[in-house]
Homo-oligomer: A and B are copies of this chain.
Amino acid sequence: MSTPKERIIATTFELFAKQGYNSTGINQIVAEANVAKASFYQYFKSKEDLCVEFLNVRHDYWFNELNRFVSKEKDMKLKLISCFDFLIEMNQKENFRGCSFLNILSEIPMDNVKILSVIQNHKKDLRNYFSELIKDSGLSDHIYLLFESSIIESQLFRSNELIEKSKKIIINLIK
């Protein structure tokens, strides 16, 4: 089939994204991954550890998908709009579950530096992504901020309305 570690990660990927961090127990993970409890703790010394791994995997997955999606466009401005369309696609695929990183940010104690820094790095990379795309740091941060609220508002209202609104705002900003 595959190695236990792979199965754990695949299962975690699905469950954390779907149910969130705190609502997903180790029991459920090992059960659905068909792995012994002790095997789990061979690869991950704690649930926190698994969380870090999950966030790393998610980071790679998410940026890959984004790049795949955006690379269809050649023009910078179209690429930009395409980023927001990517959110719409993700909302449909994942049923408006929002951003895994921000979700977990709300679920961990404030002093959990280990996880916090992984989340921060993800968002720094995203901010950089826009900055490299746009080459105007004032504008790129502006768009980064609209991108962030687009994710959250669409999660909150289970609707892409404010993503569409953001797209219109941006079109005006960069015309």
Contact = CB atoms under 8 A, between A and B. Distances in A.
Contacts of A162: 141, 145
Contacts of A4: none
How extensive is the interface on chain A, given as a class? 35 or more
Contacts of A149: 144-146, 148-149, 152
A148 B22 CA distance: 24
B141 A148 contact: no
B107 A22 contact: yes
A80 to B, nearest CB: 16
A64 B110 CA distance: 26
A106 interface: yes
Nearest to A141: B165
A153 B148 contact: yes
A171 to B, nearest CB: 12
Contacts of A71: none
Interface of A: 19-20, 22-23, 95-98, 102-107, 109-110, 119-120, 123, 138, 141-142, 144-146, 148-150, 152-153, 155-157, 162, 165-166, 168-169
Given A138-B168, A148-B152, A149-B149, 9 more contacts: A20-B107, A95-B110, A102-B156, A106-B107, A145-B162, A148-B148, A148-B153, A149-B152, A152-B152
